[in-house]
Structure 1
Amino acid sequence: MKTAIVWFKTDLRLTDNEVLLKAISQSDSIVPVYCFEDAHFETTPYGFKKTGDFRAQFLMESLIDLDANLRALGSGLIILKGKPEIEIPKIVKQYRAAKVYAKREVAFEEKQLETLVQSELWKIKCELLTLSTSTLYHAEDLPFSIKDIPDVFTNFRKKIEKDSVIRVSLEKPSTIKSPEIPKLELPDLKELGLKKVKIDKRAAIAFKGGESQALKRLDYYFFKTKSISNYKDTRNGMVGADYSSKFSAWLALGCISPRHIYQELQKYESLHTANESTYWLVFELLWRDYFRFMMKKHQNKFFQKNGIKSTDSGVKKVNIEQLQNWINGKTGVDFIDANMIELKLTGFMSNRGRQNVASYLCNDLKLDWRYGAAYFEQQLIDYDVCSNWGNWSYVAGVGNDPRGNRYFNIDKQASDYDKNKSFRNLWLKD
Structure 2
Amino acid sequence: MKPKKILVWFRNDLRLHDNEMLVEAIAKSNEILPVYIFDPRTFQLSVEPPVFKSGNIRTRFLQESVAALRESFQQLGGNLLVLNGHPEDILPDLVEQYDIAEVYHHREVASAETIVSADVEDRLWKIQVNLRHFIGHTLYNKEDLPFPIKDIPDVFAQFKKKTERDAIVKACFLSPEVINFTEVDDWGLIPDLQTLLQVDALVEPIQHELIGGEQAGLQHLSELLAPGAAIYLKIAKTGAGKAGFSSRLSPWLAVGCLSPRMVYWMVKDAEEEHGGHANFNQIILGLLWRDYFRFMLKKHGFTFFEELAEQPAQVLTQAEENSLLEQWKSGATGHGLVDDYMQQLNETGFVTNTGRVLLATYLIYVLKVNWMKGAAYFEEKSIDYAPANNWCNWAIVAGGGKAGHASKSTFNLDKQLKMLDINVSI
TM (normalized to structure 1)? Answer: 0.89
- 1:175 pairs, out of 170, 173, 178, with 178
Partner of 1:423: none
Q: Following the alignment from structure 1 to structure 2, what is the Cα–Cα distance between the partners of residues 314 and 409?
A: 26
Alpha-carbon distance in structure 2 between the residues aligned to 1:275 and 1:297? 33
Q: Of 404, 413, 426, which aligns to 2:419? A: 413
Match of 1:108 among 107, 111, 120: 111
Paired AA for residue 87 in structure 2 = P
1:198 corresponds in structure 2 to 205
Residue-pair matches, total: 408
Counterpart pick for 1:146 among 132, 149, 153: 149
Give a deviation string over 1:319-354, Cα, whole Å, max 9, x none: 110110110111111111111111112211111110
| C-alpha distance in 1 between matches for 2:93 and 2:59 | 25
Aligned to 2:311: 312
Q: Distance in 2 between matches of 1:236 and 1:80?
A: 38
Note if contact 1:359-1:406 (Cα within 8 Å) is conserved in structure 2: no
For residue 403 of structure 1, give the secondary structure of its aligned residue in structure 2.
helix
1:101–1:240 CA distance, 2 compared to 1 (3 A): farther
Q: 2: distance between equivalents of 1:342 and 1:276?
A: 26
Per-residue displacement from partner, 1:285-314 (whole Å, max 9, x unpaired)?
Answer: 10111001011111123465716xxx6266
Q: In the superposition, relative to structure 1, how do residues 314 and 159 fare at CA in structure 2: closer, same or farther (>3 Å)?
A: farther
1:398 lines up with 2:400 in the alignment: yes
CA contact (8 A) 1:37 1:84 kept: yes
Residue 413 of structure 1 aligns to a residue whose secondary structure is helix
CA shift for structure 1 position 266? 1.5
List per-residue Cα deviations over 1:270-294 (Å, max 9, x = no partner). Answer: 2111233322211111011100101
Amino acid corresponding to residue 12 of structure 1 in structure 2:
L
- When the two chains are superposed, the root-mean-square deviation of aligned CA atoms in Å is 2.3
Asked if 2 retains the 8 angstrom alpha-carbon contact of 1:63 and 1:210, the reply is: yes
Query: 317-326 vs 98-107, which deviates more?
Result: 317-326
Within the candidate set 181, 190, 202, 1:186 is matched to 190
Distance 1:128 1:316, change over 3 A: farther
Moved more, 61-70 or 404-413: 404-413
- Structure 1 260/50 Cα, relative in aligned 2: closer, same or farther at 3 Å? same
Letter in 1 for 2:336: D
Corresponding residue number in structure 1 for 2:291: 289
Question: By how many angstroms is 1:184 displaced?
Answer: 4.7
State the AA in 1 paired with 2:69.
Answer: L
* TM-score calculated relative to the size of structure 2: 0.90
How far apart in 2 are the matches of 1:402 and 1:115?
Answer: 32
The one-letter amino acid paired with 1:300 is F
Q: Deviations over 1:151-178 (max 9, x none)?
A: 1100110111111000111110011100
Q: Which range moved further: 108-117 or 298-307?
A: 298-307
Task: Name the residue aligned to 1:53.
Answer: 56
Give 1:364's aligned residue: 366
User: Partners in 2 of 1:381 and 1:224 — Cα distance?
Assistant: 27
Name which of 20, 38, 48 aligns with 1:18: 20
1:68 aligned to 2:75? no
Separation of aligned partners in 2, 1:251 and 1:219: 15
Q: Matches of 1:58 and 1:239 in 2, distance apart?
A: 26
Separation in 2 of the partners of 1:369 and 1:285?
24
Q: Tell me: CA distance 1:350–1:169, structure 2 relative to 1, closer, same or farther (3 Å).
A: same
Once residues 179 and 228 of structure 2 are traced to their aligned partners in structure 1, the CA distance between those partners, rounded to angstroms, is: 35
Distance 2:10 2:171 in 1: 21
Alignment of 1:346-361 (within 5 A): 346-361=348-363
Task: Tell me the distance in 1 between the aligned counterparts of 2:189 and 2:242.
Answer: 35
- Aligned residue in 1 for 2:214: 211
For the 8 Å contact 1:3–1:31, the answer to whether it is kept is: yes
- Within a 5 Å distance, the mapping from 1:88-167 to structure 2 comes to 88-167=91-170
2: distance between equivalents of 1:292 and 1:210?
Answer: 23
1:353-376 per-residue CA deviation (whole Å, 9 max, x = no partner) reads: 100010111111121100000000
Instruction: Describe how 1:219-230 pairs up with structure 2 within 5 A.
Output: 219-230=222-233
Offset at residue 316 of structure 1 (A): 4.2
